[in-house]
């Protein structure tokens, strides 16, 4: 992936989150504040406004710009969480002119690490971590098998989708949804869903 490819990925995320804003908010209305879709859409609209200046940036700076923009424009928990994720991802690939399969794994590892550190969440708590953890594991397995960047991104996306769907029967023990107790069971986590959409956008781009 070149920095042009990376920018195309970010543009795809902005488009996909805009298209799915109502869907994400619908999911969030069941177990959250009913604002996840609007928040993510607003955040990546602010990111897309910076695309003209991001064209000349390297991959690391592009990702860090996304992170800083999300932290400053997105309300609720998703801004700080995704903001930290993109900031850490950018730091992890500093100095890279192009991203190969191993670099994608490094980036995903840092992305998930940022969310875990910021949100103190672990797998099984009905959060975005439940989509990203299996995605990273699948990406690492794909890397060990020596697959292409395209195949690696596809496998990570498929694992994220499975992890997202697996949040439906979970009891939420982190974030706003945890206030609902047993009533959180039976609903798909919106954060896990937006994480899947972000990875799906990557697979579609590569």
What CATH number should be reported for the domain holding residue 140?
1.25.40.340
Rounded to whole angstroms, how far apart are CA atoms 18 and 48? 11
Q: How many degrees, rounded to 5, is the angle at CA 58 between CA 53 and CA 63?
A: 80
More confident: 106 or 171: 106
Structure tokens at 200: 């799906």
Counting the structural domains of the chain, the total is 1
Mean per-residue pLDDT for 70-90? 93
Binned at pLDDT 50, 70 and 90, residue 79 comes out as very high
What residue has token string 């496998």? 155
Q: Which domain holds residue 110?
A: 3-205
Q: List strand residue ranges (DSSP E) for the chain, in order.
A: none
Binned at pLDDT 50, 70 and 90, residue 199 comes out as very high
Q: How far is CA 39 from the centre of its chain?
A: 14
DSSP H helix total and E strand total for the chain? 10, 0
For the chain, the average pLDDT equals 95
Structure tokens at 51: 């695309």
pLDDT score, position 12: 98
Cβ(143)–Cβ(105) under 8 Å? yes
């Amino acid at each position: 992936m070149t920095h042009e490819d990376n920018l195309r990925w970010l543009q795809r995320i902005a488009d996909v989150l805009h298209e799915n804003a109502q869907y994400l908010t619908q999911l969030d209305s069941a177990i959250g504040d009913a604002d996840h879709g609007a928040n993510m859409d607003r955040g990546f609209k602010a990111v897309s406004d910076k695309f003209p200046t991001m064209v000349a940036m390297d991959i690391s700076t592009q990702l860090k710009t996304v992170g800083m923009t999300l932290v400053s424009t997105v309300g609720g928990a998703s801004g700080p969480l995704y903001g930290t994720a993109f900031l850490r991802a950018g730091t992890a690939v500093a100095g890279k002119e192009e991203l190969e399969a191993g670099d994608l794994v490094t980036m995903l590892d840092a992305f998930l690490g940022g969310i875990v550190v910021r949100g103190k969440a672990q797998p099984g708590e009905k959060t975005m971590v439940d989509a990203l953890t299996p995605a990273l594991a699948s990406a690492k397995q794909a890397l060990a098998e020596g697959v292409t960047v395209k195949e690696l991104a596809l496998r990570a996306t498929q694992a994220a989708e499975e992890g997202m769907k697996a949040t439906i029967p979970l009891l939420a023990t982190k974030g706003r949804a945890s206030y609902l107790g047993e009533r959180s069971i039976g609903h798909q986590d919106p954060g896990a869903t937006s994480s899947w959409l972000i990875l799906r956008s990557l697979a579609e781009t590569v």
